[in-house]
Amino acid sequence: MSCEKCKEVFILEHKSATLHFMSEFDELIKKLEKFMKSLSIASRSHEGLCSLEVNDLRVFFSSNLDVMNSYFSEMERESIKLYIQDKDSTFSIQSILLAKPFQRFINLLEDKEFFDIVNAESLTSHFQPIVDVRTDTIFGYEALVRGVKENGELMYPDELFSKSKRNDLNFKLDKLCRESALKTAATKKISQKVFINFIPTSIYDPEFCLASTQKWANQLEFDPSQIIFEVVETELVKDQKHLKRILEFYREKGYKIALDDVGEGYSSLNMLIELQPDIIKVDRNIVDCIDTNTLKQSVYRALYNLAREHGIEVLAEGVETASELEMIKSIGVDYVQGYYFAKPSAEPIRKI
């Protein structure tokens, strides 16, 4: 089960259509008229609309891409809305509500590889081991998404989510990432804990938006206690009540919760107090060179003591050297993660 926003496919087809450009600014409609006239394209305008017929939608955008970008500023392209009317549909008030920024349609060409990945749901996960310092064994793995391009090359998370954000697709991409993590972990026969990232601002209603995640977890026969959902981008969360509802949904199903990047700023500390996660992941900026930086040692010690007082386990991420590891262990830690042990890999490291 998923909403229409997550089902939507994004493609510029080779088909005839009527394009309805609209804006609340009269000067932009006039600029659109001049633009179409410069291309010798007949258009008609009426009450904030500039409409025209095209024989081939994809050819129209691809052949005029450069001139569109040069003629209109990015702010103008975001301010102009566009609705594409098929030959079998009519233009109505509902059409106005469904119109998207002009820039989004340009992005369909400029971000083609990204849209190909999303439309084909062509995602996989790599796994980075998380080590239990008490036993020197692998406690679990963090699942890190990778987009797979048509040529087999990978698109990494920073690019995936930057393109997702500018195209308002975090809702769909985040859902696909959660599902990919579960499916890939099952394929790799991982028996330890699996840490799965999620962006809380990409979930409207946990009962509805997380239904497909729950379905795959059940279908793949995961023990809920083996899955740890990791809250990322906490600095973007404005509605803590909404986040609590999401975490309550996960906890009711038997999953555990980790809070990422703790110590990065005030927001994450506030989240720690409010959310009472099962595990906190201390930000890698604190761990980096902690063996030679007494201020970082003090910050880490304060976080560790705060967590222990409330029964929260501590995971130090971004460990890259033996000296960093020894310093962290001397202060206190439950789990560690970083390049010192292993980089993320398609085939999980089975032993440290």
Stated as kind and residue range, the H or E segment containing 155 is: strand 154-155
Residues written for the chain: 352
Q: CATH for 4-110?
A: 3.30.70
Per-residue pLDDT of the chain (352 residues; tens, 9 = 90+): 455 555 666 789 999 999 999 999 999 999 999 999 999 999 998 888 999 999 999 999 999 999 999 999 999 999 999 999 988 888 888 889 989 999 999 999 999 999 999 999 999 999 999 999 999 999 999 999 999 999 999 999 999 999 999 998 988 999 999 999 999 999 999 999 999 998 877 776 777 667 788 888 889 999 999 999 998 865 566 677 878 888 888 899 899 999 988 876 555 677 777 788 999 999 999 999 999 999 999 999 999 999 999 999 999 999 999 999 999 999 999 999 999 999 999 999 999 8
Question: Which fold, 114-337?
Answer: TIM Barrel (3.20.20)
pLDDT of 249:
86
Please answer whether residues 181 and 143 qualify as being in contact, where contact means their C-beta atoms are separated by less than 8 angstroms. yes
- Alpha-helical (H) ranges within the chain are 4-7, 26-38, 57-63, 65-71, 74-79, 93-98, 102-110, 112-120, 157-166, 170-187, 206-209, 211-219, 240-252, 266-275, 284-287, 294-309, 322-331
**C-beta of residue 287 within 8 angstroms of C-beta of residue 325:** no
8-state DSSP, 201? G
pLDDT value, residue 1: 45
Domain limits, the chain: 4-110, 114-337
Angstrom CA distances, 75 to 19, 37, 79, 180, stand at 20, 22, 6, 35
Give the pLDDT score at 18: 96
> What would the two tokens of residue 17 be?
């259509």
The C-alpha atoms of residue 28 and residue 45 are separated, in whole angstroms, by 12
What is the pTM for the complete model shown? 0.88
In this predicted structure, what is the pLDDT of residue 87?
82
